[in-house]
Amino acid sequence: MEPNFEALRGEFPLLSRKTYLNSGSYCALADTVKAAFEAYMDDRLAVGADWDVWVTKNEAVRDLVARLLNASPDEIAVTASVSAGLNALASAIDFTGPRNKVVVSDFEFPTNAQIWHAQEPRGAKVVHVGRDADGYIPLEHFEQAIDEETKLVAITHVCFRNGAKLDIPGIVKIARAKGALVLLDGYQSIGSMSVDVKTLDVDFAVGGMLKYLLGTAGIGFLYVREAFVRSLVPTNSGWFAQENIVAMDITANRPSMSARRFEAGTPAVVNCYAAEAGLEIILRVGTDVIEQRVRALTRRCMERLEEIGWVSVTPDLDARRGATVAIPSRDSGALSAALMARDIVTSHRDANVRAAFHYYNNEDDVETLIAALQDLREAYFPN
């Protein structure tokens, strides 16, 4: 039975005032997430410091992320950001041997390239996989880049620039044949579609809470396959990465036997409240339901754009598309601002305005966007 999406939409007060198409940048705020922030303030006023509760909140986030990804809680590190998780992971990888290549794609968010380039003084060799003439990155390009020298294939699931979705199972198959590890950046996918790390067979995955997971900034996660948790020892560390957090031992580094070893210092307490509430919403609605809803809305948006002759640069095939529809413009920043003036919230990257959909959007949002683009066509249609 299909959920009552209009009732679910009512859980986001912002949607009564704005056409919100910016979930790929920052999600709309749900009532329960707002209440979670307020609960933190109430707890602070009532108790002051309550570390027992705060650590419990951190563990609740770990458990919920594990459920979301079909992983074990011991495979999840709760991090301050994707960058924090990637830096901890990178610090644990040895690049001194013959297998020292890191393969990234031209679809990456800067973090997932910059951090691996930062390992070059430690012996890493970073190779970029480029686009085809149509703007997509086919499997053949990965086949040419991944070889017996490849240590890690670090790839985004969905490109933040144009909404293109990579063929992760195909890339993993190529990496496995060459003995390489695979890291998935799921920031632009997890929460907008079902992502099962076991089915995808990736070794590592990262993401954060401020986009499709309906939480807030300042908190993310790192998944580490159980087989690698104990063999990888990060040199980026901190007291919450230790086996016994309360030992306060300054004589040695004794990392946790779980993925918590990839954490660092004091957790982002208030962000844990919000992240927990956001994750609970996603699990309640269901990622299969969300994926189907988002696919239908992005399909509708692309069809309507084609009808008005303003074609998106996002791949048309469902298998190659995430939650973002990228709309070309002669001045994407100015078009995004003009849409904002009409209470239509988008974002822009490169020469494209990004309309990023979530389950709380509807077809009326699509029509509002299309009507605005028709009005603004003369000023912003691409040359």
Pairing of strands 352-356, 324-328: antiparallel
Q: How many CA atoms lie within 13 A of 378 on its CB side?
A: 1
Ramachandran angles phi, psi of 237, nearest 5°: -145, -165
Number of other residues whose CB lies within 10 A of the CB of residue 138: 14
Query: In the chain, what are the domains?
Result: 5-29+286-380 (3.90.1150.10), 34-283 (3.40.640.10)
Is pLDDT at 99 greater than 80 in this prediction?
Answer: yes
CA gap 249, 69 in Å, rounded: 33
Alpha helices of the chain — where are they, by DSSP H?
A: 5-9, 31-47, 51-69, 82-92, 111-117, 139-145, 168-178, 197-200, 226-229, 269-285, 287-307, 332-341, 363-380
Q: What is the DSSP letter of 164?
A: B
DSSP 327-358: EE-SSHHHHHHHHHHTTEE-EEETTEEEEE--
pTM score of the predicted model: 0.97
How confident is the model at residue 383, as a pLDDT? Answer: 83
pLDDT over threshold 80, residue 1: no
Model pLDDT for residues 177-233, shown as the tens digit of each residue: 999 999 999 999 999 999 999 999 999 999 999 999 999 999 999 999 999 999 999
Return the number of other C-beta atoms located less than 10 Å from residue 137's C-beta.
22
Angle between helices 269-285 and 51-69 (to 10 degrees): 30
Q: Give per-residue pLDDT as tens, 25-64.
A: 999 999 999 999 999 999 999 999 988 889 999 999 999 9
- CA gap 83, 103 in Å, rounded: 17
Condensed to tens digits (0 to 9), the pLDDT of residues 268-297 reads 999 999 999 999 999 999 999 999 999 999
* Residue 374: C-alpha distances to residues 22, 309, 312, 336, 366 (Å): 20, 10, 14, 14, 12
d(CA 142, CA 101): 13
Q: Contact 189/157 with Cβ under 8 angstroms?
A: yes
The three-state (H, E, C) secondary structure of 131-153, written as one string: CCCCCCCCHHHHHHHCCCCEEEE
* Of 205, 248, 252, residue with least CA distance to 77: 205
Task: Decide if pLDDT at 310 tops 80.
Answer: yes
Looking at residue 26, its pLDDT comes to: 98
User: Percentage of the chain surpassing pLDDT 90?
Assistant: 96
Per residue in 132-159, pLDDT (tens digit) is 999 999 999 999 999 999 999 999 999 9
Which tokens sit at 363? Answer: 């077809």
Mean pLDDT of 330-336: 98
Q: Quick one: pLDDT band at residue 96, thresholds 50, 70, 90?
A: very high
Q: pLDDT per residue over 343-366, tens digit each?
A: 999 999 999 999 999 999 999 999
pLDDT at 2: 81
Q: At how many degrees (to 10) do helices 269-285 and 287-307 cross?
A: 80
Place of tokens 């000023």: 379
Which three-class secondary structure state does DSSP give residue 300?
A: helix
Output the DSSP codes for 257-269. SSGGGG--SS--H
Work out the mean pLDDT of the chain and round it to a whole number.
97
